Amino acid sequence: MSFRAIVLIFATLCLCETLSSISAQTASTMVNSGQRPVVLVTNKETPEKGINKLKLKADVIFPKSHPATREEVLELAGQVDGIMWVGHMPLNGEVLDRGGSRLKAISTMSAGMDYVDVEEFRKRKFPLGYTPIVLNDAVADSAIGLMIAAGRRYHEGRLAIDQSQWTGGPQWLLGQDIKGSTVGIIGLGGIGQTIAKRLKGFDIGQLLYTGRRPKPEAEALGAKLVPQDELLQESDYVFITVPLTNETRHMINESTLAKMKPTAVLVNVARGDIVDQRALVAALKNGTIFAAGLDVVSPEPLPADDELLRLPNAVVIPHLGSATVQTRNNMAEIAALNVLAGIAGTPMFSPYPY
């Protein structure tokens, strides 16, 4: 069984309890005795659970400013043994250079690593951790929420109330059904699979997915691997759950949107730049597709005057996929364990596989 599979089972079965118990043991053995290491946590609002894990074996410092400026983080990088990198500020060779020989390990508190120059870490063999898997449930829940909100025109309905346009009637604000629908998941990774599990309760008709190769988990989920064009043409709901890479940037654009059904709903819980947002706005305005549910947009934060926010058929929320108390606590604890393990020169709990 692969390391990732072991981590997945572990995380799913008993993450919270296990983390509490293993962290005390692991932390007590993994950092060498002598002077306590110092860890920089780049965001003051990082959940206390993670900070407390760090404090078992390290002194913790924070930038003075909130949100931290890059210059401040770079300056502090040279004064610490490890960094818990919280937020999506670019993490690259500049940070490692400024960290110098004292800096031993960094962990992000995220699953997506599009803001990290992973190649630079790989070249330097620098210990890098991240926090995938533990957020799959929270993000999948959010994706299902967006599917329903967009497909059933919740935003449009709310706007009608606000504008005293509540007319009602048998033909008013009719949306799309989920039962019997064809659902397409672009990228059947951890989050995609968790969405697929939830969909089992919705009696969908067919589940399609795209990917470079068949996923062993697909069979149990009843998911069929198809070319992307087929998925776009056939699906009533399209979920985007792939990482943002050079390959996936603007994967959904004018020409791919044109392949979708006019009744289709697009849900994006991955990264905003996977979608060409201008093309999406046009597609939502001219009826190329029915609606979109977006947890992620471009840029983030999205300016309040962005055209996307004026569209009744776009449900837009501000990158809340992993934003539950438990999930963020778990992410912070895993990131803390990663950093402590990296400083001690032992394997991280959740190393990034570069």
Cβ at position 138, least distance to ligand DGY in Å? 9
Cβ at position 163, least distance to ligand DGY in Å? 33
Count Cα neighbours of 242 within 13 Å in the Cβ-side half-sphere.
22
Cβ at position 269, least distance to ligand DGY in Å? 8
Cβ at position 258, least distance to ligand DGY in Å? 28
Cβ at position 354, least distance to ligand DGY in Å? 16
Query: Could you tell me the CA-to-CA distances from 199 to 121, 213, 280 in Å, in that order?
Result: 37, 22, 25
Binding site for ligand DGY (CB under 6 A): 110-112, 135, 321-322
Helix axis angle, 190-199 relative to 136-151, nearest 10°? Answer: 50
Nearer residue to ligand DGY within complex by CB, 205 or 353: 353
Quick one: which of 132, 152, 146 has its CA closest to 297? 146
Query: Could you tell me the CA-to-CA distances from 341 to 12, 194, 226, 246 in Å, in that order?
Result: 22, 29, 41, 31
Nearer residue to ligand DGY within complex by CB, 63 or 112: 112
Which residue's structure tokens are 């803390």? 336
Residues 173 and 349: their CA atoms lie apart, in Å, by 48
Nearer residue to ligand DGY within complex by CB, 226 or 331: 331
Please enumerate, as own/partner, the contacts of 309-315 that have beta carbons within 8 Å and a separation of 24 or more.
311/281, 311/284, 311/285, 312/153, 312/155, 312/156, 312/159, 313/150, 313/153, 313/155, 313/156, 313/284, 314/150, 314/155, 314/281, 314/284, 315/146, 315/149, 315/150, 315/154, 315/155, 315/291
Nearer residue to ligand DGY within complex by CB, 95 or 269: 269
Cβ at position 110, least distance to ligand DGY in Å? 3
Among the listed residues 66, 88, 155, 319, the single catalytic one is 319
CA dihedral 341, 343, 344, 348 (to 10 degrees): 20
Q: Encode 105-129: b = buried (16+ Cβ within 10 Å), e = exposed.
A: bbbbbbbbbbbbbbebbeeeebbbb
Cβ at position 255, least distance to ligand DGY in Å? 27
Nearer residue to ligand DGY within complex by CB, 26 or 268: 268
Angle CA 55–56–58, to nearest 5:
55
319 is catalytic: yes
Nearer residue to ligand DGY within complex by CB, 26 or 142: 142
Nearer residue to ligand DGY within complex by CB, 112 or 190: 112
The residue with its CB nearest to ligand DGY is: 112
Contacts of 216 (CB under 8 A, 6+ apart): none
| Catalytic residue positions, numbered | 319
